[in-house]
Structure 1
Amino acid sequence: MMYVDLRSLTQPVGIMRIIATILTCVCFSLVATVGHISSSYWAWCMFTWCFCFFFSLLILILEFTTVSSKLPFAWEDFTAAFAILASLMCLATSIIYPTFFTCSACPHQIGASVVSWVCFGVYTGEVTLTWLHQCGQNTGFLSTVPGIMKLLETFFACLIFTSLEKSQYFSSPGLQWCVAVYSFCFILAIIIILLTTGQLTSFFPFSFDTLVIFYNILAAAMYMTAMVVWPLYSLGTQTRPSNCGHHCAWDKLVVVTFMTILNFIVYTLDTAYSIHLVIDATVTSTQ
């Protein structure tokens, strides 16, 4: 028998989700009225607003119908992770869209940009409320520091893929290596997230935490090579071309370079924190 929970819509987090659902719908509606633009950044912005709208609405429906309590995974961990991811995606979109697609005589684009910033604020507020609610409680993987770092790693990789163009790396083995690094680390990070949130790590015949540490070390080392190789082979010593327009391919190379550096830092911090957790667990078990 299905019940409904009105409290899920009237509590502060529920109200913020309703506002976020409305605002993200406004964003992609405003942009859709302008028309399609052949740009990976435009596609990223539209995907962000549609993605956030769909999952915010889905979360509201599942909590209102109490179906969320019957799902085979930690629901609060999922919603907290979604709020973090949505705030990151909206932050990136709120920077990208007005930078590349807004002008002083573009009311729809200006409106979408402003509403996108409000969306970022709403999702950040949801993250804050969720953190205050879960403070002192046992949380799932995605709400922990290693889980948040995994979300950051996949998020930065998505921005890298959005900025990549095949013509930029197709004829260069060095740049192809960098793309292979981005793809390999992204796929394994997603697998780790799925295995951990799905509580499948206990089926491994060896320590999954140790495996994750080895992966983090490998990923950090691979990103370190990409951090050197990508700007060396893509940018070299050249500066921004004088005839580079508003959607300049050179800017995308810089974005990939910057995101590579950020992901290297995150993987390094993830490695150090994972080792710290394992050492603490070992010391605790021996006492």
Structure 2
Amino acid sequence: MGCFLRRLQLLSTCMAFSLGASVGTWRGAIGNWSMFIWCFCFAVTLVILVVELCELQDHFPFWDNFLITYNCYSALLCFSASIVYPTSYLQFLPDSSYRGHAIAATAFSCIASVAYAMEVAGTRTQAGRTTGHMATVPGLLKALQTVVACVIFLFISSPYVYQQQPALVWCVAVYSVCFLLSSVVILLNLGKCDNRLPIPFPRFLVGQTLLSVLLYTSAVVLWPLYQFHEKLGGQPQRPRNVSCSDRLTYLVCIWDQRLAVTILTAINLLIYVTDLVISARLDFVRGQEHGHSQP
């Protein structure tokens, strides 16, 4: 089953990349993001398949942990490309063979995300196999936080989106700091270094998540306030100029980018809140078990 899924991942990412290249997807930032995801997943999956066929995985001590982490990220990244690509690029294509190729690329991207997710689910249910932290709910939430942050960075790649107000620069700093903190947690688990911290790792996890929740709460208030409130220099209505017309420009309208970041900020805040609740509960349960184990 794993070998079948690996080949399905290769086929679907290769087809998505090839079909996207046939319509010139790389000419815009959104297209670049999708093309990078499909190409990266295809290349790494090919390397993994070669390693497994040659039975070289025993030479890598963290192979299982790396594999589950990669599959989690590939599922989330392909899923993000399956949403961002059609909503920001496909809808502007005229009815032609190009549009058909773009629709097929989106479909293969969806197939790839399902194939990676099925492998993650299979790893979690496989008896006698160590799944690793990334296969747990807290690990999946950490991966989801970083993927959503990457999509936010994609939409704020243009400085015109945030440079006009210091409050918006603060929001960009919030996205960056929280992304780095979540990445550190993932790297600590991937390298099995979570027991080397001066404080217990579950307590560190709760503190990191709580800080991220507070920072994202400020961003979820300040970003839409300074982007869409007219008295604070925002633009409440979508403009009707050439840059936001309904035609293929390979560039996403600035107002649409601001709206997308607003929605993604709220989504990531909900993910962090869910992570905080789960992490605090697990820390409390471990504390209770430790207290009962003491004489």
TM-score (norm 2): 0.86
Distance in 1 (CA, whole Å) between partners of 2:27 and 2:172 is 22
Asked if structure 1 preserves the Cα contact closer than 8 Å seen for 2:23 and 2:101, the reply is yes
Aligned residue among 221, 229, 239 for 1:236: 229
Cα deviation 1:122-164 (Å, max 9, x = unaligned)? 2233233223225x86531111111111101101100100111
Asked if structure 2 preserves the Cα contact closer than 8 Å seen for 1:181 and 1:222, the reply is yes
Aligned residue among 28, 37, 41 for 1:52: 41
Distance in 2 (CA, whole Å) between partners of 1:142 and 1:252 is 30
Partner of 2:140: 148
Distance in 2 (CA, whole Å) between partners of 1:201 and 1:118 is 34
CA displacement at 1:188 relative to structure 2 = 1.5
Partner of 1:171: 164
Unaligned runs of 5+ in 1: 1-11
Distance in 2 (CA, whole Å) between partners of 1:96 and 1:206 is 39
Q: Bigger shift: 144-153 or 196-205?
A: 196-205
Aligned residue among 189, 199, 202 for 1:196: 189
The letter for the 1-side match of 2:220 is M
Q: Is 2:112 the partner of 1:95?
A: no
Unaligned runs of 5+ in 2: 231-235, 247-251
Q: Bigger shift: 247-256 or 171-180?
A: 247-256
Asked if structure 2 preserves the Cα contact closer than 8 Å seen for 1:85 and 1:151, the reply is yes
Partner of 2:115: 122
Q: Is 2:257 the partner of 1:252?
A: yes
Q: Bigger shift: 215-224 or 29-38?
A: 29-38
Cα deviation 1:183-232 (Å, max 9, x = unaligned)? 01111111111112101122223222212211111110000000000011
Distance in 1 (CA, whole Å) between partners of 2:290 and 2:76 is 37
Partner of 1:158: 150
Distance in 1 (CA, whole Å) between partners of 2:110 and 2:87 is 13
The letter for the 2-side match of 1:94 is S
Q: Bigger shift: 34-43 or 150-159?
A: 34-43
Q: Is 2:45 the partner of 1:40?
A: no
Q: How many residues align?
A: 274
Structure 1 residues 279 and 100: CA distance shift in structure 2, 3 A = closer
Asked if structure 1 preserves the Cα contact closer than 8 Å seen for 2:72 and 2:117, the reply is yes
Distance in 1 (CA, whole Å) between partners of 2:131 and 2:219 is 34
Structure 1 residues 201 and 117: CA distance shift in structure 2, 3 A = closer
Partner of 1:262: 267
Partner of 2:6: 17
Q: Bigger shift: 229-238 or 145-154?
A: 229-238
The letter for the 2-side match of 1:245 is S
Structure 1 residues 127 and 97: CA distance shift in structure 2, 3 A = same
Distance in 1 (CA, whole Å) between partners of 2:204 and 2:83 is 36
Distance in 1 (CA, whole Å) between partners of 2:160 and 2:280 is 39
Distance in 2 (CA, whole Å) between partners of 1:84 and 1:199 is 18
Counterparts of 1:215-230 in structure 2 under 5 Å? 215-230=208-223
Question: Aligned residues: percent identity?
Answer: 35
Q: Is 2:70 the partner of 1:82?
A: yes
Asked if structure 1 preserves the Cα contact closer than 8 Å seen for 2:124 and 2:131, the reply is no
Partner of 2:102: 109
Runs of 4+ in 1 over 6 A off after TM superposition: none
Distance in 2 (CA, whole Å) between partners of 1:267 and 1:100 is 26
* CA RMSD, 1 decimal: 1.9
Q: Bigger shift: 181-190 or 121-130?
A: 121-130
Distance in 1 (CA, whole Å) between partners of 2:68 and 2:245 is 40
CA displacement at 1:235 relative to structure 2 = 2.1
Asked if structure 2 preserves the Cα contact closer than 8 Å seen for 1:87 and 1:120, the reply is yes
TM-score (norm 1): 0.89
Partner of 2:177: 184
